[in-house]
Amino acid sequence: MGPKRELKFALESFWDGKSTAEDLEKVATDLRASIWKQMADAGIKYIPSNTFSYYDQVLDTTAMLGAVPERYSWTGGEIGFDTYFSMARGNATVPAMEMTKWFDTNYHFIVPELGPNTKFSYSSHKAVNEYKEAKALGLDTVPVLIGPVSYLLLSKPAKGVEKGFPLLSLLSGILPVYKEVIAELKAAGASWIQFDEPTLVLDLDSHQLAAFSAAYAELESALSGLNVLVETYFADVPAESYKTLTSLSSVTAYGFDLVRGTQTLGLVTSAGFPAGKYLFAGVVDGRNIWADDLATSLSTLQSLEAVVGKDKLVVSTSCSLMHTAVDLVNETKLDSEIKSWLAFAAQKVVEVDALAKALAGHKDEAYFAANAAAQASRKSSPRVTNEEVQKAAAALKGSDHRRATTVSARLDAQQKKLNLPVLPTTTIGSFPQTVELRRVRREYKAKKISEEEYVTAIKEEISKVVKIQEEFDIDVLVHGEPERNDMVEYFGEQLSGFAFTANGWVQSYGSRCVKPPIIYGDVSRPNPMTVFWSKTAQSMTSRPMKGMLTGPVTILNWSFVRNDQPRFETCYQIALAIKKEVEDLEAAGIQVIQIDEAALREGLPLRKAEHAFYLDWAVHSFRITNCNIQDTTQIHTHMCYSNFNDIIHSIIDMDADVITIENSRSDEKLLSVFREGVKYGAGIGPGVYDIHSPRIPSTEEIADRINKMLAVLDTNILWVNPDCGLKTRKYTEVKPALTNMVSAAKLIRTQLASAK
């Protein structure tokens, strides 16, 4: 099953009250021991600890610092699971903290809420406890902490705190806690400590860079006697940040992502590297599943060795391996040729060890030869290239693929056909994925039930979901996606150029795991993918039924993508495949089609200079999917759990008729962009309640949110919907929440009518 899925089931069992905290801790302890042993057996010298999290590492740091918002009524002492998971998921009385994406990945983190009155105290000994746990197994690990400056830069002012509050002013408050942790680690016998400071790859100003110098100068005495590694990842380190980082006297070693940060390699070789310091060279890709080109990496390492020195160069992955699948050994059904091109986490640590040994003069010639043969096989394989697809994608140049009429004209035409009320209600797509539903899909894949039995079961589930929505009086319905385990995997299984794993799970947050498909070749759509189920659902109701699709940018960003051509070329290919599906849905009589682009913001490059190019091809890809449909067909899109305010003009440029977008989990941050004067003319549904929390919002609470939206958005464009899909929730939570949502919409409609 793999450690990520084991943790998922252990967490869900604990949350459901089926197991105890001791049961959960035992699962975690066994998983950590297994992972540490695997790395030790592979020959890894610097084994990290404190990288295992029950939810995410930023929340772990919030717990370590005792930075618990007042609403959770924490009274001090060691933070336990109740407080920890309340911050992550909310509880019956208070909402969860905001959740957003970890840089440009599909991993999420809980955003710290800080202010001038936040009191910090050492309140979680997790880092020290896990170091001691590993030491008891005979392993001297490198404890990993989120660095103090990155922690503050990733935080936000708490509710009621001035928006411009200088979060870095809290350094003096958190550093004493870091000193306590460092002192305990030293006392426990640690010889190395790692601080992750990934914000160093962002566009930082001089004040922010000065904070790094100040923080590590303040920690210097506490760090005395330790080897200190500061790790960066996901992009190039800018020249000024490189200069600041390499001048920190308390730091022994620097870690750089040399896969996504190729220009950093130039800084090391041309701008110089401090004498006597270690370089952790991230040459093995920690974010993808392709086997490393060992010959190329070895050449890179040899050039670095000439600059850094033989005894100061450490071979590493580009980032944590949490972003890739666990072990290729578990993939017994994967095509053998494609499998030879891949390396999951277990294989990547072997690659790291092989490169280190080769650098030391002990090259495994057979291993390197097999790697070279696999690289050559991938480059020459006919299954990678489809000339027809490449020609179609190349033909896209020269057009921006916009629909012929304005969004206001289209909305008028759609309203005449759909006849929706003011403040129309809808949901985002998925409904609860019950145990029975998962069993049906599992048995069908295992050929334990026939296709006829499977279709009957799925039709029954769709019928149930349709009836529930009609009973609640929802205006635009969804079929609930009972045939789909995952929104990207489902489409990838029906597109050419994709491969699938049985156990390639990756943690997204907490218990949420995804199994990204592998895009190995040119992409096309051999057959319709959703038309049968959408037609079936529409036949069960007279209300509009959405056709539900995943957009090209989201399919791209939530897959392991081929690295032998630019990402935008692959995205255009996917866009053409989705375009065919959109046109087939329209031809089948589906009047509302949702093309989710939940991950569009996620893929935004970390450096501002690269934003425009990405947004141009990403937005263009979305427009390609629906450029030829009729004005009366309403195109929706959906986005969630990212900061959208800085790309609002690109969202407008997508030219969708309606966008539903996460809003309540982020404390209505989205609405501020409209308060600041941005005009939005298309339909928009900022989420009215958080679906990642078991908490059920009241009718009054939702009505209050709708009124806040109406203060900045026109009545005739506002939709009412949850933040996101409902697949992770139970029906006992979904039914009252949706009932209250519809009641709130009707309440506001009545108030608006009486005010005329």
Residue-wise pLDDT for 713-723, tens only, equals 899 999 999 99
C-alpha 2 chain-centroid distance: 20
**What is the C-alpha R_g of the chain?**
26
- The per-residue pLDDT for range 21-46, each reduced to its tens digit, is 999 999 999 999 999 999 999 999 99
pLDDT value at residue 187: 98
Kindly give, in sequence order, each residue whose CB lies less than 8 Å from that of residue 216, ignoring residues fewer than 6 positions away.
Answer: 223, 230, 248, 249, 250, 251
Annotated binding residue at 640?
yes
Q: Is 512 annotated as a binding residue?
A: yes
State the average pLDDT over residues 493-514: 90
653 in a labelled binding site? yes
Angle, nearest 10°, between helix axes 294-308 and 345-359?
50
pLDDT at 670 over 80: no
What percent of the chain has a predicted confidence (pLDDT) above 70?
99
Look at residue 4 and tell me whether its pLDDT is greater than 80.
Answer: no
Contact 278, 254 (CB under 8 A): yes
pLDDT, mean over the chain? 94
How much of the chain, in percent, has pLDDT values that exceed 90?
Answer: 85
Task: Quote the CA–CA distance of 137 and 133 in Å, as a whole number.
Answer: 7
Q: Residue 428, annotated ligand binder?
A: yes
Render pLDDT for 358-400 as a digit per residue (tens, 0 to 9). 999 999 999 999 999 999 999 999 999 999 999 999 999 878 8
pLDDT value at residue 177:
98
Per-residue pLDDT, 1: 47
Q: Going along 551-631, which residue ranges are E strands?
A: 560-561, 592-596
pLDDT at 390: 94
Ligand-binding annotation for 596, yes or no, is: yes
| pLDDT given for residue 409 in this prediction | 96
Residue 329 has pLDDT above 80, yes or no: yes
257 annotated ligand binder: no
pLDDT number for residue 641: 64
Higher pLDDT, 152 or 435: 152
Q: How far apart are CA 477 and CA 484, in angstroms?
A: 17
Please, which pLDDT band fits residue 644 given cuts at 50, 70 and 90?
confident
CB atoms within 10 A of CB 42: 17
pLDDT digits (tens, 9 = 90+) for 122-133: 999 999 999 999
At residue 397, the pLDDT reads: 82
Is 319 known to sit in a ligand binding site? no
Q: Is 564 annotated as a binding residue?
A: no
Distances in whole angstroms, Cα of residue 257 to Cα of each of 235, 254, 267: 7, 10, 12
Dihedral sign, CA of 391, 395, 397, 401?
negative
Alpha-carbon span 165 to 117, nearest angstrom:
12
Q: What is the set of domains in the chain, with CATH numbers? A: 6-380 (3.20.20.210), 422-433+472-755 (3.20.20.210)
Provide mean pLDDT across the span 489-508.
91
DSSP string, 394-448: HTTTT-----SS-HHHHHHHHHHHH-PPSS-BB--SB----HHHHHHHHHHHTTS
The predicted structure's pLDDT at residue 120: 98
What is the model's pLDDT at position 664? Answer: 76
pLDDT digits (tens, 9 = 90+) for 559-603: 999 999 999 999 999 999 999 999 999 999 999 999 999 999 999
Is 17 annotated to bind a ligand? Reply is no
What pLDDT does residue 272 have? Answer: 85
Residues forming the active site:
692
Residue indicated by tokens 């690990």 = 141
Q: Report which residue type is found at 340.
A: S
DSSP for 533-545 reads HHHHHHTT-SS-B
Confidence grade of residue 245 (pLDDT, cut at 50, 70, 90): very high
Of 331, 242, 341, the residue nearest 288 (C-alpha): 341
At residue 663, the pLDDT reads 82
- Give me the amino acid identity at 139: L
510 is in an annotated binding site: no
